[in-house]
Chain A
Amino acid sequence: MYDWLCAQLETEFEQVKLLKKNPRGSIELLRHRKTGERVVCRRYDGSDEVYRRLLDVESPNLPAVLAVASRDGHVAALEEYIAGDTLDSLLRGCTMTWRETRGIIRGVCEALWVLHSMGAVHRDVKPENVLLSGERVVLIDFDAARLSRPDASADTCVLGTMGYAAPEQFGLAQSDARTDIYAVGVLMNVMLTGEHPSKKLAAGRCGRIVSRCTMMDPNRRYPDVRHLLREL
């Protein structure tokens, strides 16, 4: 299946742009030769289990995953191309109001609710992985995502992004849904203040929400995104 999909990507699609490339993999923007439809192709080394689960769901806050195949730890995933700006690009040199922040964070939480409901953890929530397209808020990039395994003692490898990664992602404990809540707290604070909460915490009630999201002990964070959504 992996070989077949890779062969089809060569024959039926043409590359429009290489969006990203690093030692773990690449992200390409492709165009279907016959229909002209644009899609994003992710190739990376790791687990494909979350992409596979997303094949069967349709959410306005997640890109539609069209095809996934893997072999010997090499993963190829084809997903919907969404034209828009990453939150990262919008935050350069500025911050957002509470109203803007709340709307975007709600969209991120809706996406996380879908992932968490299927037992998955994103593990890399950050501005670069939040795409804004019109009224749509879309959480992308599940390369680091994995299924949560409560019986495991700690994450086997360090994934995620410094600053946004929760303490347990550095080998202190097994990551779970609360790991993403930590990252959402950091994200919210950065949107409001431009700084990590350890440097400058958002004022007032927003700051209290951020604080609870970013507790060192996962048990003291919001237990799930429903509770966070309720506070928002």
Chain B
Amino acid sequence: MEEKKCPRCGAVLPAEATLCPSCMARLNKRTAIKKHPVGIPLRHIAAALAVLLAAAVCVWLAVRPGTYDNGSAQVSYRDGKTNYTVMVSFDGTSNGVVKNTEKRVYLPAGDEINALSRVYVLGEDGSLAADEFRGLVDSTELALSCTEGDETAVRIEEWGVNESFPDASYTGVLNMTGADSTQQVQWTLHMKNGDTIRLYHTLYVKEQQTVTFKPEDTPMETEADLAALVEKINTEVDKHTIAEVWLPAGVYNCDLAIQDHAFNVRGAVNADGTPATELRGTITVSTEGPNYVELENLALTGNGGNGLDASAAMTVTNCSFTGYDKAIAVHNGAFVHPTDCTFRDNQTALDFNTASFHMDSPDFTGNVFERNGTAILLESLPGGEDLDLSNCVFRENGADIVNHSERGVDTSGAKFYQ
């Protein structure tokens, strides 16, 4: 007798078995039979057709399919007795709608990024009516029209119903490259009753510029030089331009605040690759730049307090933190993504207490945590992907990972020493 295995419990069964007696799993494919549509006698059909035809002509004359198109991002639409507000937006929130008829994106040459065009529908009471409205729609179209610049700079990746954005009736993914371009995004909704709704909003893509400050062309040897450079960036550099500051090897006895204009700070390195630029103080980052803020090759040394006080999205690479109450404190709205960093002799090395943010990366690899009171404290950190601690080393910490959040942590690639 030929055999097979139950896909649910693995029990060995005859090949022709349709039920697993061990776990009651149904093994055969069944065809659901729908109710049989009942026909109508011909004489009834003929009479009904005549009446219907007359009625249909009257109804059609009264409610001919209409086109709702005022050239804007929002229309009022009436279906039967229900009024809807239909709009398109590039942004939204978890608890409502942010109306945004245009979006400006600044991208470094060669980079690409996606924007999400969303169709939101509000019912008469102002509440979201995504599902209800989708029931009235027969099909959708999404199209781009280049009004200026490179017409190939933006392309439509896909559009339709996106389960990740349940508040939106439909979403469209627009892929952008760095070339300058202005694109009109047009949604067309074909309703089941024959109506057509058209909505428009505009996407501006600009190539992002970068300005670099290096020791050989900008004074930055002293704390006063560094303060003057920050002031220069704040006042003279366009806010959509990325500023890169390359600090020389040496010691700065000061704090550094990145507040008005976001910029990246990169230190020098020793022959062994460790940071050669030391900052004895606190770096505070509290501004959203055109991109996230990047810190690299910096040795932060403190005597209590916070080493990095973050209220923005940022990356921290090959930095060391020593002697702080909190080496990195991540506040609400922020996300910090440390890799290849060293945390020694801090009360708490990484403290996440954030409920929402615009950037998320699970890559926390290559970090060393030594002799900290608590290495990683996750007070609040949402997100679906487990934090990846591959190649991280935990040694002689009071507590390695204290996780009060919903975020998972993958320690399979980490090493722990007492």
Q: Which residues on A are within 8 Å of B, measured CB to CB?
A: 1, 4-5, 8-9, 11-13, 32, 34-35, 37, 55-59, 64, 66-68, 78, 110, 113-114, 225-226, 229-230, 232
Does A57 contact B36, Cβ atoms closer than 8 Å? no
Q: How many angstroms from the CA of A225 to the CA of B35 in the assembled complex? A: 12
Does A8 contact B33, Cβ atoms closer than 8 Å? no
Does B18 contact A55, Cβ atoms closer than 8 Å? yes
Select which of B14, B22, B32, B36 is within 8 A of A110 by beta carbon: B36
Does A55 contact B23, Cβ atoms closer than 8 Å? no
Known interface pairs A32-B24, A56-B28, A229-B38. Does A4 touch B14 (Cβ–Cβ under 8 Å)? yes
Query: Chain A: which residue is nearest B17 at the CB level?
Result: A67
Does B14 contact A113, Cβ atoms closer than 8 Å? no
Q: How many angstroms from the CA of A78 to the CA of B30 in the assembled complex? A: 16
Q: How many angstroms from the CA of A230 to the CA of B40 in the assembled complex? A: 6
A-B contact pairs, 7 of them (CB 8 A): A1-B14, A12-B22, A32-B21, A34-B22, A57-B32, A58-B33, A114-B33
Q: Which residues on B are within 8 Å of A, measured CB to CB?
A: 1, 14, 16-19, 21-24, 26, 28-33, 35-36, 38-41
Does B33 contact A57, Cβ atoms closer than 8 Å? yes
Known interface pairs A37-B24, A58-B31. Does A78 touch B36 (Cβ–Cβ under 8 Å)? no
Q: How many angstroms from the CA of A56 to the CA of B14 in the assembled complex? A: 18
Residues of chain B contacted by A11 (CB below 8 angstroms): 21
Does A113 contact B36, Cβ atoms closer than 8 Å? yes
Does B39 contact A226, Cβ atoms closer than 8 Å? yes
Residues of chain A contacted by B35 (CB below 8 angstroms): 110
Q: Tell me the smallest distance from the CB of A3 to a CB of chain B, in Å.
A: 10
Q: How many angstroms from the CA of A66 to the CA of B31 in the assembled complex? A: 14
Select which of A9, A66, A78, A230 is within 8 A of B41 by beta carbon: A230
Select which of A1, A12, A230, A232 is within 8 A of B21 by beta carbon: A12
Q: How many angstroms from the CA of A218 to the CA of B33 in the assembled complex? A: 27
How many contacts A-B (CB < 8 Å)? Answer: 64
Residues of chain B contacted by A9 (CB below 8 angstroms): 21
Secondary structure at the B interface, as helix, strand, loop or mixed, is loop
11 new A-B contacts, CB < 8 A, other than A32-B21, A55-B18, are A4-B14, A9-B21, A12-B22, A13-B21, A34-B24, A57-B33, A58-B30, A58-B33, A78-B19, A225-B36, A232-B38
Q: How many angstroms from the CA of A59 to the CA of B32 in the assembled complex? A: 6
Q: Tell me the smallest distance from the CB of B178 to a CB of chain A, in Å.
A: 55
Residues of chain A contacted by B32 (CB below 8 angstroms): 57-59
Does A230 contact B30, Cβ atoms closer than 8 Å? no
Q: Tell me the smallest distance from the CB of B183 to a CB of chain A, in Å.
A: 49
Known interface pairs A1-B14, A67-B17. Does A56 touch B39 (Cβ–Cβ under 8 Å)? no
Does B29 contact A56, Cβ atoms closer than 8 Å? yes
Residues of chain B contacted by A12 (CB below 8 angstroms): 21-22
Residues of chain A contacted by B40 (CB below 8 angstroms): 230
Does A56 contact B31, Cβ atoms closer than 8 Å? yes
Q: Tell me the smallest distance from the CB of B28 to a CB of chain A, in Å.
A: 6
Q: How many angstroms from the CA of A12 to the CA of B22 in the assembled complex? A: 7
Query: Chain B: which residue is nearest A52 at the CB level?
Result: B18
Residues of chain B contacted by A58 (CB below 8 angstroms): 30-33
Q: How many angstroms from the CA of A35 to the CA of B38 in the assembled complex? A: 40
Residues of chain A contacted by B23 (CB below 8 angstroms): 34-35
Q: Tell me the smallest distance from the CB of A63 to a CB of chain B, in Å.
A: 12
Residues of chain B contacted by A225 (CB below 8 angstroms): 36
Select which of B16, B26, B41 is within 8 A of A1 by beta carbon: B16
Does B30 contact A229, Cβ atoms closer than 8 Å? no
Does B36 contact A229, Cβ atoms closer than 8 Å? yes
Q: Tell me the smallest distance from the CB of B25 to a CB of chain A, in Å.
A: 10
Query: Chain A: which residue is nearest B31 at the CB level?
Result: A57
Does B18 contact A66, Cβ atoms closer than 8 Å? yes
Shortest 6 CB-CB distances between A and B: which pairs? A8-B21, A59-B33, A58-B30, A67-B19, A12-B21, A66-B19
Does B30 contact A64, Cβ atoms closer than 8 Å? yes
Residues of chain B contacted by A34 (CB below 8 angstroms): 22-24
Q: How many angstroms from the CA of A120 to the CA of B167 in the assembled complex? A: 49
Known interface pairs A78-B19, A226-B36, A230-B39. Does A35 touch B31 (Cβ–Cβ under 8 Å)? no
Identify the interface centre among B16, B24, B32: most chain A CB within 10 Å of its CB: B24
Q: Tell me the smallest distance from the CB of A221 to a CB of chain B, in Å.
A: 17
Query: Chain B: which residue is nearest A59 at the CB level?
Result: B33
Q: Tell me the smallest distance from the CB of A223 to a CB of chain B, in Å.
A: 12
Q: Tell me the smallest distance from the CB of A187 to a CB of chain B, in Å.
A: 19
Query: Chain B: which residue is nearest A12 at the CB level?
Result: B21
Q: Tell me the smallest distance from the CB of B34 to a CB of chain A, in Å.
A: 9
Query: Chain B: which residue is nearest A39 at the CB level?
Result: B24
Residues of chain B contacted by A114 (CB below 8 angstroms): 33
Q: How many angstroms from the CA of A196 to the CA of B26 in the assembled complex? A: 41
Query: Chain B: which residue is nearest A227 at the CB level?
Result: B39
Q: How many angstroms from the CA of A9 to the CA of B17 in the assembled complex? A: 13
Q: How many angstroms from the CA of A230 to the CA of B41 in the assembled complex? A: 7
Q: How many angstroms from the CA of A3 to the CA of B279 in the assembled complex? A: 82
Query: Chain A: which residue is nearest B26 at the CB level?
Result: A66
Residues of chain A contacted by B38 (CB below 8 angstroms): 226, 229-230, 232
Q: How many angstroms from the CA of A4 to the CA of B16 in the assembled complex? A: 11
Residues of chain A contacted by B1 (CB below 8 angstroms): 1, 4
Q: Tell me the smallest distance from the CB of A208 to a CB of chain B, in Å.
A: 14
Does B19 contact A56, Cβ atoms closer than 8 Å? no
Residues of chain A contacted by B14 (CB below 8 angstroms): 1, 4
Q: How many angstroms from the CA of A194 to the CA of B41 in the assembled complex? A: 30
Q: How many angstroms from the CA of A56 to the CA of B29 in the assembled complex? A: 6
Residues of chain A contacted by B31 (CB below 8 angstroms): 56-58
Query: Chain B: which residue is nearest A225 at the CB level?
Result: B36
Query: Chain B: which residue is nearest A231 at the CB level?
Result: B41
Known interface pairs A1-B14, A56-B29, A58-B31. Does A35 touch B39 (Cβ–Cβ under 8 Å)? no
Query: Chain A: which residue is nearest B44 at the CB level?
Result: A230
